[in-house]
Each structure stands twice: as C-alpha cells, then as structure tokens.
A and B are shown apart, each in its own frame.
Chain A
Amino acid sequence: MQKLETGKTAKINFTKSYKNKKQLEKILLFSVAVILATFWLLPLLWIVSTAFKPESDVIDPIVRWIPKRVTLDNFRIIFSDKENAPILRWFFNSLFIALSHTILILLFDSLAAFAYARLKFKYKETIYWTMMATMMIPGVINFIPAYVIVDKLGWIDTPAAMIFPGLGGVFGVFLLRQFFEGIPKDLDEAALIDGASYFTIYFRIILPLSKPALMTLAVFTFMGNWNDFLWPILVTNDAANRTLPAGLAIFQGTYIHNYGILMAGALISAVPPILLFLLGQKYFVKGIALSGLKE
C-alpha cells in the first residue's frame, strides 16, 4: 500500500516536471525565434521607414522608426526622373524579359522532358546525360564567349540578350523529366490506342498533370532571371535598356548618399519578388527541396 502510494506520487511529479520542462522549452524556442526574426526584419523595416521620410528627416541624427512626417516625395522624384534613372522603364524591361524567358523555358523544357521521359529514340540516354554533365561546368567559363556570341547576333542592348541565352540551361529538363516519369505510363498507352498523337498526350495528359512541377519551375526561373545582375550589366550599354536590378547600380550612382530616394528605389525593386514569394510560397519551399535533394 505504502509502496504503491509513493509510486503514484512519483509518477505525477514526473509528468508534472516533464510538462513544465516542455512548456519552458516552448517559451524559450519562441523567444529565440522572435528575437532572431526581429533582427532579420529590421533592415527591411528600416528601408520602408526611410523611403517615406523627407530628406531633412533622413539625415536627422536621431533615429526615428516611425517617420515624423510621411511623404511620397522620394517616389515622386524617382518616377519623374526619366533620364538618369528610369525605374519604371527598368521595371517593364524586367517584367517583359523575365516573363518571356519563363514562358519559353516552360515550353521548350517540357517538350524536351516529355521526349526524354516518355518516348523511345536512339541515343536518348547519351544525349540526356551528356547534357546533364554540363551542369558541372562553372558558368564563369561561359560568360565572355556568350557575350561574343550575343554581340555577333546583334543582340547587345536588346531584350533578346537577356531572354534567350538562359534557354540553354538544362536544369528545367532535369526537374520536369523526374516529375513526368512519376506519371503512370498506362495513360499514354491508352491514349495511343485511341489514336492520340504524341503531342496530344503531351498537351492533354502530361502537362495538366504536372502543374505543381511546372509552377515550381516557373517561379524559380522567373526569380532567377529577374534577379540576374552581372549579365544584364554586360549586355546593355544604354541605361534605358537595363533590367531593374541592373539599373539600380546606375541609380545608386545618380543619387549617391541621398538615402531617402535610394531606399524608395530599393523598396520599389523589392516589391515584385516579395509579392511573388508570398503568392507562390509553397512552390518555393518545394522547389528548393527538389533542386537540392533529388538524387
């Protein structure tokens, strides 16, 4: 009797302390996460705060997180400056280039991946794996000769220079082939018996079933092309032809030390990718995992 009692109390005490410990861990983890997240977000909050301040308040030696006066002047100056820093023009350049590039990648890579995943043809695996092996070639080896080729094609200072060369990449083919191979083959066979062409199978069966993979590829391709920096600097001479990220380098020189205007520009350039991130968050997480850990 005595013994049983002690055992019971011990058990209650144990569960209690275990629960307390878990509670403590939860609070501790949460506090650490909140502190880190705050530090992570501070720079972003600070540019928002700066972008809406008049210049006199920006250089005010007292830091005010909430602006004393909120103004849109910085944005007004940026949008009216069409000569030195045509941000609107850059924005539309970026949008046109990244969209065209993404659409072409989706189209060409899905066509190719369909053939590699579902069709039989001579030298298929040889071609495919030779292509994949080039992923090992560091991009730095290619950028000077790629410039020479783009120049010979007469594409310098045109969107073509930023839309087409990236179509030579093989990552999209790899990603889509992996996905297409997971779709049951019976579907194709049934369609073939019904007299469907390869293109019909590709377009009516494979593509609609591959929406998640296509979306992931789209989000990554768009983001990668949008954020490209070195290449657009190389292939544009006229400031007006730059993309937004590449244009910001000029913009920085134009408004050097004028941080209200600079931060307004940084904010404008941050909005599209952040928006895309918020809308396509699940594809981001999936895509990063896919790009990395598939054997």
Chain B
Amino acid sequence: MNKNLQKIEPYLFILPQFIFFIVFMILPTGLGIWISLNKWDYLTKPKFVGLKNYIDLFKPDTIDYLEFWNAFGNTFKFVIFSVPPLIIIALALALLVNSPNLKFRNFFRGVFYASNVLSVSCVGLIWLWMLDTNAGLVNYYLEKLGIGRIPWLAELPWAWISLVAMTVWWIIGGNMILFLAGLQDIPQTLYEAADIDGASGWQKFWYVTLPGLKRPLLFIVIMTTLAQFNIFGQPYMVTRGGPGNATKVLLMYIRDVAFGQYRMGSASAMAIMMGLVMIVFSIIQYKLLSPKE
C-alpha cells in the first residue's frame, strides 16, 4: 500500500499543472484544427467541410481572399519594418549601457527598459497624444523646425512609421537586456587578447563581440519576429486599422471574422495558416542564423 502510494505520489505533484496544460494547451490545438475543417456560425451545429476553409483563402473570388491577404500583407510589412530596428537599436543601446566607461549605467538601463512594462493600451494612448496631427507634441516641434505638420496616423507611409516607432519605444528595452546578458557572457580575455594585438574598437566589435553574440542573436531575432507577427494592440488603439484597411493586421481581421461575423471555421483556418507561417519563418531564420560548429 505504502509502496503504491509512493509510486503515485510524483504524479500528484504534476497533476494540477498538467490538467490545465491539457485543457488549455492540447485541447485547444486539437479543437482549433477540427473547427477549421467545419463551417460553424457558433449557434447551430458545425458542418464538416474538409479543407474548404483553407482552399477558399486561395480563391480570388471569395469574400475572404482580398481581406485576408491584405491583413496578411500588412502583418508581414510590420514584421519586416519593425524587426531590424528592434534588433539593431537594441544592440546599440546594449553596447552603450554595457560600457564600463559609462557613468550611472544602471540608471540608463532602467530608463530604456521602463517603457517595456507598460500595457499596449497605455502606450497607444500616449502616442495618440504625442502624434496628434493638430495638437501633438511631435508636430508642434516639427512646425517650429519649419518642417510642418505630418499626418502621422491618418496617411501612409506615416501610419506605418508611427506604429514601428511606438513599438520600438515600447519594447526595445527587453531586447536590450537580452543583448546585455549576451555581452556579459563574452569572456573578457578575448578583448584583452585583441588589445594586445592592437585591435581598434571597430575591429573588436566585428571580430570579438559579434561572433560572441551569435547564439543570443539567433534567439532574439526569432523571438522578436514571432512577437511582431502577433501585433494587435498598437493598430487597434492608434490607427484602428486605417487609413482604410492599410494597417489592419491579421489578428484584427481574424478576430473580426470569428467574433464579429461568427464564421468560426474560416477564422480558425486563418489562425492556423498564420501559425504555420510563423513556424516556417522561425525555421528559416534558424537555418540562416544558427552558428556553424
């Protein structure tokens, strides 16, 4: 009896977390695939339609075709526009606040990271005000400089520039801290050796720092890309998908289809398509960037 209990006991420890894992991770994935194979208005019984929801996304004469690929393209644009600055600026900031010659560097780390803890809606409200065409602070100073007012949120390409800029302001600190951890893992002896060889600052960056950052860089690029695919809050709060549908992103459209139009099957198929694209993207990045042993 006692021995049996001892055998079961470990399972009791993992059980609570495991139940939630099954109900809210495994079950949804299975259910999601199943819903995507059905036509379902959420009220009546789902009707099995096979791969129709997926095929419809590739048929130019369906309602979803234009809107889905528009949202897909917009999401893609956002990823392409936002990931490079989120990597490059974060690395530059990390190098800056990692330098032993910088005074108060802990304070600066805190400053650059602070905006990262805000919610996306708070960030949205702040930038709505900063970028307001008539009364915003940014246009006020641009006008003083003689550049004039820019319709930051109402016209292209400004709407994209605004979304990318506020995203950089919002989350760059997280990437900066990740790079910082990577920088601190590079053995100091490598720099000392480079000094003895008379390497310049630039050479040290190119031949010591960058190679030493390969693993963290791979991780940061993949995580940042995946996170940016999930863009929703910024356009939802600030551009409302506009001008027109130009900044309407996938999560906005999928939410519309699922909970506005109650076409659960189509929405699930779109969500799974999006998930697959994200997985493919990570694999490609992994193949391209992973350090060769």
* Residues of A in contact with B (beta carbons under 8 Å apart): 22, 25-26, 29-30, 32-33, 36-37, 40-44, 46-47, 50, 58-59, 61, 63, 107-109, 111-112, 114-116, 119-121, 124, 127, 131, 134, 136-149, 164-170, 173, 198, 202, 223, 226-227, 229-230, 234, 244-246, 248-249, 252, 259, 262-263, 265-266, 269-270, 273-274, 276-277, 281, 284-285, 288-289, 292-293
Kindly provide the distance from the CB of A202 to the nearest chain B CB, expressed in whole angstroms. 8
B272 at the A interface (CB under 8 A): yes
Given A44-B115, A63-B140, A246-B121; A30-B226 close (CB under 8 Å):
no
B10 touches A276 (CB 8 A): no
Which residue of chain B has its CB nearest to the CB of A41?
B111
Most buried by A among B11, B121, B275: B121
A30–B145 Cα distance when bound, in Å, is: 26
B233 touches A145 (CB 8 A): no
Which chain A positions have C-beta within 8 A of B71? Answer: none
Which chain A positions have C-beta within 8 A of B181? Answer: 288-289, 292-293
Interface of B is mostly: helix
Which chain B positions have C-beta within 8 A of A285? Answer: 109, 177
Which chain B positions have C-beta within 8 A of A284? Answer: 113, 117, 177
Kindly provide the distance from the CB of B70 to the nearest chain A CB, expressed in whole angstroms. 17
Which residue of chain A has its CB nearest to the CB of B201?
A25
- Binary interface encoding of chain B residues 245-269 relative to chain A, with 1 for a CB under 8 A from any of its CBs, else 0: 0000011001100110000100110
Which chain B positions have C-beta within 8 A of A40? Answer: 111-112, 114-115, 169
Most buried by B among A33, A47, A285: A33
* Residues of B in contact with A (beta carbons under 8 Å apart): 7, 9-11, 13-14, 16-18, 20-32, 35, 93, 96-97, 99, 101-105, 108-115, 117-122, 124-130, 132, 135, 137, 140, 169, 174, 177-178, 180-182, 185, 215-216, 219-220, 223, 226, 229-230, 232-233, 236-237, 250-251, 254-255, 258-259, 264, 267-268, 271-272, 274-275, 278-279, 282
B122 touches A288 (CB 8 A): no
A43 touches B28 (CB 8 A): no
B216 touches A293 (CB 8 A): yes
A41–B14 Cα distance when bound, in Å, is: 45
A108–B17 Cα distance when bound, in Å, is: 5
Task: Kindly identify which residue among A115, A142, A259 contacts B13, using a CB–CB cutoff of 8 Å.
Answer: A115
Task: Kindly identify which residue among A121, A144, A274 contacts B267, using a CB–CB cutoff of 8 Å.
Answer: A144
A120 touches B35 (CB 8 A): no
B125 touches A252 (CB 8 A): yes
B29 touches A259 (CB 8 A): no
B125 touches A263 (CB 8 A): yes
A142 touches B32 (CB 8 A): yes
A-B contact sample (4 more), CB < 8 A, given A29-B96, A138-B279: A112-B18, A143-B271, A145-B32, A269-B119
Given A41-B111, A168-B24, A277-B117; A50-B177 close (CB under 8 Å):
no
Kindly provide the distance from the CB of A156 to the nearest chain B CB, expressed in whole angstroms. 11
A59 touches B135 (CB 8 A): yes
B115 touches A292 (CB 8 A): no
B255 touches A230 (CB 8 A): yes
| Nearest 8 Cβ contacts at the A-B interface | A168-B24, A245-B119, A115-B13, A289-B181, A145-B31, A121-B10, A248-B121, A167-B20
A207–B223 Cα distance when bound, in Å, is: 30
Kindly provide the distance from the CB of A96 to the nearest chain B CB, expressed in whole angstroms. 17
Given A26-B103, A121-B7, A139-B230; A144-B17 close (CB under 8 Å):
no
Task: Kindly identify which residue among B7, B30, B103, B108 contacts A37, using a CB–CB cutoff of 8 Å.
Answer: B108
A26–B32 Cα distance when bound, in Å, is: 56
A109 touches B17 (CB 8 A): yes
Given A46-B130, A131-B21; A120-B10 close (CB under 8 Å):
yes
Which chain A positions have C-beta within 8 A of B23? Answer: 149, 168
Which chain B positions have C-beta within 8 A of A198? Answer: 9-10, 13
Which chain A positions have C-beta within 8 A of B140? Answer: 61, 63
Given A139-B230, A145-B29, A229-B120; A119-B10 close (CB under 8 Å):
yes
Kindly provide the distance from the CB of A140 to the nearest chain B CB, expressed in whole angstroms. 5
A26–B232 Cα distance when bound, in Å, is: 41
A226–B117 Cα distance when bound, in Å, is: 10
Task: Kindly identify which residue among A142, A252, A266, A274 contacts B117, using a CB–CB cutoff of 8 Å.
Answer: A274
B125 touches A248 (CB 8 A): yes
B24 touches A165 (CB 8 A): yes
Task: Kindly identify which residue among B16, B108, B169, B178 contacts A289, using a CB–CB cutoff of 8 Å.
Answer: B178
Which chain B positions have C-beta within 8 A of A262? Answer: 125, 128-129
Which residue of chain B has its CB nearest to the CB of A22?
B101
B128 touches A248 (CB 8 A): no
A266 touches B126 (CB 8 A): yes
Kindly provide the distance from the CB of B229 to the nearest chain A CB, expressed in whole angstroms. 8
Which chain A positions have C-beta within 8 A of B101? Answer: 22, 25-26, 29
Task: Kindly identify which residue among B28, B178, B182, B233 contacts A230, using a CB–CB cutoff of 8 Å.
Answer: B233
Given A140-B230, A140-B278, A270-B118; A37-B111 close (CB under 8 Å):
yes
